[in-house]
Amino acid sequence: MSSDQRAKAPATPMTYRDAGVDIDAGDALVDRIKPLARATMRPEVLAGIGGFGALFEVPKRFKDPVLVSGTDGVGTKLKLAFALSKHDTVGIDLVAMSVNDILVQGAEPLFFLDYFACGRLAVDTAASVIAGIAKGCEISGCALIGGETAEMPGMYADGEYDLAGFAVGAVERPHILDGRRVAQGDVVLGLASSGFHSNGYSLVRKVLEHVCGRITLPAVDSVRIEGEDQPLSTLVMAPTRLYVQAMLSALSVHRDHIKAMAHITGGGLTGNVPRVLPEHLTAVLREDSWTMPAVMRWLQAKGNIARDEMHRVFNCGIGMVVVVQASQAESIAAHLTLQGERVYRIGEIRARAEGEPQTIIQ
């Protein structure tokens, strides 16, 4: 006789909640996030939260649109969110990592979808995360058109969750930025980052553990960093800067003179700038032309991190690189400054010698 045949039915009927999935909590979360999603709506949204699929029409002002898509997560920055109980900024990170990526090809973000997975759904925590997602969408001008909340007992430790995001945008075919117009003599502008953004956090956590012993809010905030007024927990959890509105504004005026953009994410400056350069060119950047945030200098010192390692792991204070025509560099920098960006002239494009890297930081 098999074990299945010997087993008796339990005296009390089993429910999904007994198995660890709370449908009522999921419904409560949907009720909490509906008004957040409504605040991000665009006229092109034909069906909102609640359907099996979201409907969105391409804006009629586009004549020859090409769709541009991107997907990303937040990475191990989530481990800090769990340890520090700070869940209100990682949703902004989630949006920023995808919309900034599609922006560099000249695309306007149109809509965004999220995936939130956990072992046990904590409605307040999930609502805080999704409020950040909605805020990031609102800042970027894209609609939070749908998403998925998955409660999967046994898949995640209690109190932990994972995030993924998906952005879709559009660009007119003749306006696609692919780096082909970059030429020798072009100027490289750098837009300041808001901190570590969402990259290098395995190393950030390793240094914090070295300094604090155990990563807890009291231990982390007991550390004071010279030159920074904010607590360390705020600095390490600062959300990724959203460059969408400023860059779309600049493109609307200076499209012919903006040659390429690079979102400085995993791989740092040395890994991301080459992605938008023709093979025969290199970007020469001057390290003394911009200011590395004090929290990054602190991290480098406390972790004894080599200069080259910093450049290939972190953004080092530059979250977006913009390659522009030299004659218009000052005008474009002024435009971006008026849009609220801190802009540095960080280098130039020149011919690449054989065997030379495509990004040189001097």
Same domain for 194 and 140: no
The count of structural domains within the chain is 2
DSSP 241: P
- Does residue 319 belong to any structural domain of this protein? yes
C-beta separation of 166 from 304 below 8 A: no
pLDDT classification of 2: cutoffs 50, 70, 90: low
Q: What is residue 49's predicted lDDT score, i.e. its pLDDT?
A: 62
Same domain for 345 and 233: yes
Same domain for 305 and 278: yes
pLDDT digits (tens, 9 = 90+) for 308-346: 999 999 999 999 999 999 999 999 999 999 999 999 999
Question: Starting at the edge strand that comes first in sequence, how are the strands of the sheet with 343-351 ordered?
Answer: 258-263, 318-324, 187-192, 343-351, 281-285, 359-361
Question: At residue 3, does pLDDT exceed 60?
Answer: no
- Does residue 158 belong to any structural domain of this protein? yes
C-alpha 326/C-alpha 336 separation (Å) is 16
Tokens of 26: 């999921």
Same domain for 303 and 156: no
CATH code where residue 35 lies: 3.30.1330.10
Same domain for 215 and 158: no
pTM over 0.85: yes
Same domain for 110 and 208: no
- Does residue 180 belong to any structural domain of this protein? no
Pick the most confident of 10-14, 123-127, 342-346, 353-357: 342-346
- For 70-79, 144-153, 280-289, which range has the lowest pLDDT when averaged over its residues? 144-153
pLDDT digits (tens, 9 = 90+) for 262-313: 999 989 999 999 999 999 999 999 999 999 999 999 999 999 999 999 999 9
C-alpha 79/C-alpha 95 separation (Å) is 18
Same domain for 229 and 191: yes
Same domain for 166 and 191: no
- Does residue 209 belong to any structural domain of this protein? yes
In sequence order, the β-bridge partners of residue 162 are 117
Same domain for 255 and 154: no
Same domain for 244 and 336: yes
Q: What is residue 4's predicted lDDT score, i.e. its pLDDT?
A: 57
Residue 262 belongs to what H/E stretch? strand 258-263
Same domain for 224 and 97: no
CATH code where residue 310 lies: 3.90.650.10
- Does residue 156 belong to any structural domain of this protein? yes
Which percentage of the chain shows pLDDT scores above 70?
A: 96
Residue type, 200: G
Q: What is residue 50's predicted lDDT score, i.e. its pLDDT?
A: 64
pLDDT classification of 52: cutoffs 50, 70, 90: confident
> Among 115, 140, 175, where does a domain finish?
175
Same domain for 273 and 228: yes
**Residues spanned by the domain of 247:** 187-361
